[in-house]
Structures are given as structure tokens and as C-alpha cells.
Amino acid sequence: MNVAVFHGSPRRGNTYRATEIFLDGLKTCGGVSLTEFSFPEDLPVFCTGCKLCFVGRREDCPNAKYSAPIIDAILKSDALVFATPHYGACGMPASMKTLFDHIDSLVLNVSPREEMFAKKAFVITTGAGSAAAAKPIEKFLRHCGVNRVYSLGIRMFADEWDKMKEAKRERFEKTLRRLAKKFYGAKRKRPYLSSLIYFYAVSFIMKRYVGEGNYPYDNWKAKGYFDKRPF
């Protein structure tokens, strides 16, 4: 199983520690290959809002030397792992948010890719408001058509992993390893109802309001999405 991993914080602290435990659990299942990205090191620039990816010119993105390898890794992977701490202001740190800005063209209403509908994803967050960081990531992935999105929010109430009480720390570590094995064995299922509704709503909007001569419509038509579902 090829897994693309995205570390959303430059601080290799609690979230990184939790993710490493999860990935170690995955690797014990055998046949796991990891491609890891750390932000902002691997994506040190913000999206400029040029919208070239929205008109089928992703290769012309001014940040393509950073974003292209990331998108390629996403499309070639079997599974995705997103790791981010909770930041009080907006849920996730800017270094993780800029990732989603750069891959926004993968959503169903722009340029959906059939590869996305076969993928599964896992979101790991730490912090008192961990759910606030995970929810927008889960929603984004469903809007890209990802088949199944799982998550674990770890509310540590400690600023360092090893400062947690031993029993609590061991409980979290056991949970991470158990969920890693469960994620490894998770099979493809029927698409989420929300993904189906979103897909058909976008299809209606494309035909009714967008029309030929516009990239999203022309892209959908070229891929046959008006006649068949890509999942």
C-alpha cells in the first residue's frame, strides 16, 4: 500500500509523535511504502490565487515546482494521512491550509479525478480543539470524492507527549496502533451519500449554468462524467 503523508506543522512535537506511532502500526502490516511531506519545508509558498489550475493549466502554476510533486504523490497513492495540530485561530496552521489551497482543483466542481474515488484517508490531530482542525480536512477530502475518511483527535491537555500520565499516554498509543491496523485493512465501500449528492448537484450546475467553452464543463464532458459516475 502506497501512503502519502502530510505533516502540517514545522514543530515535530505531539502531532508528529502520534503520527509516527500510527505509521509504525501501518508498517507492521507489511507492504507499506511511505512518501512524506513536511510543511512549510516542502511547500514554503502561499497560493497566489492565479486560478490557472481551475482552467486546466496546473503545470503553469507559479508554485508548480512545489505543488506538482505533492499532487502527483496524492494521485499515485492508495491512502492519505494528514497530521496537523489544532491552532486556536482557524483550526489548522497556515502551513497545512496552504496545502489545500494548492490542491483545490481536485474538488468535484472543478477537476475531479477518478483516482480519488478509490482512496482512503486518515486525519490525525492533537490539541484541545482537535475536532476543529479535522472537520474541514474531512469535508475537503469528501468533496474530492475520497471513498472513506477516518480521523482521530487526541485531546492531551499536556504540552508534551511524555508529560501525559503514563496510563493515558499508553492508551493513546494503543489506540493509534489499533486504528492503523484497522485503516490498513479498510476496504472500499459505496461512496458517501454527501459525495453522491454533491456530484449530482455539480453535474446539474455544470449543464445548467456553466456550459461549453468553460474548463470545468469541458473537463467533465471530456471525461464522460455527464454520462457515467467516476466511482
**For 121-172, what is each residue's pLDDT tens digit?**
999 998 777 777 889 999 999 999 999 999 998 887 777 888 888 888 899 9
Identify the helix (H) or strand (E) that includes residue 125. strand 120-126
Query: What average pLDDT does the chain have?
Result: 90
Q: Which three three-digit cell numbers place residue 166? A: 503514563
* Cα distance between residue 164 and residue 32, in whole Å: 30
Q: Are 83 and 7 in contact (CB under 8 A)?
A: yes
pLDDT digits (tens, 9 = 90+) for 6-22: 999 888 888 999 999 99
User: Which are the contacts of 121, defined by CB distance < 8 A and separation ≥ 6?
Assistant: 79, 80, 81, 82, 141, 146, 148, 149, 150
* Cα distance between residue 95 and residue 132, in whole Å: 16
Q: How high is the pLDDT of residue 90?
A: 66
**Between vectors from CA 150 to CA 1 and to CA 196, what angle results, nearest 5°?**
95
Comparing 32-46, 94-108, 158-172, 195-209, the range with the smallest average pLDDT is 158-172
Confidence band of 117 (pLDDT split at 50, 70, 90)? very high
Q: How far is CA 143 from the centre of its chain?
A: 10
Number of neighbouring beta carbons within 10 Å of residue 61: 20
- pTM of the complete model: 0.92
Domain covering 2-191 assigned CATH 3.10.20.30 in the classification: no
Number of neighbouring beta carbons within 10 Å of residue 131: 15
- 60 burial via Cβ count (<10 Å: 0-12, 13-18, 19+): exposed
Query: Which segments of the chain does DSSP mark as H helices, in order?
Result: 14-27, 64-76, 94-102, 130-143, 166-185, 193-205, 215-222
Q: How high is the pLDDT of residue 81?
A: 98
pLDDT mean over 105-119: 89
* Cα distance between residue 141 and residue 159, in whole Å: 29
The ranges assigned to domains in the chain are 2-191
Q: How high is the pLDDT of residue 157?
A: 76
* Cα distance between residue 217 and residue 212, in whole Å: 6
Q: Are 195 and 145 in contact (CB under 8 A)?
A: yes
* Cα distance between residue 27 and residue 21, in whole Å: 10
Cα dihedral 185, 188, 192, 198 in deg (nearest 10): 130
Return the closest-CA partner of residue 184 out of 20, 14, 22, 5: 22
pLDDT digits (tens, 9 = 90+) for 50-60: 989 888 888 88
pLDDT above 80 (res 27): yes
pLDDT mean over 75-80: 97
* Cα distance between residue 139 and residue 149, in whole Å: 9
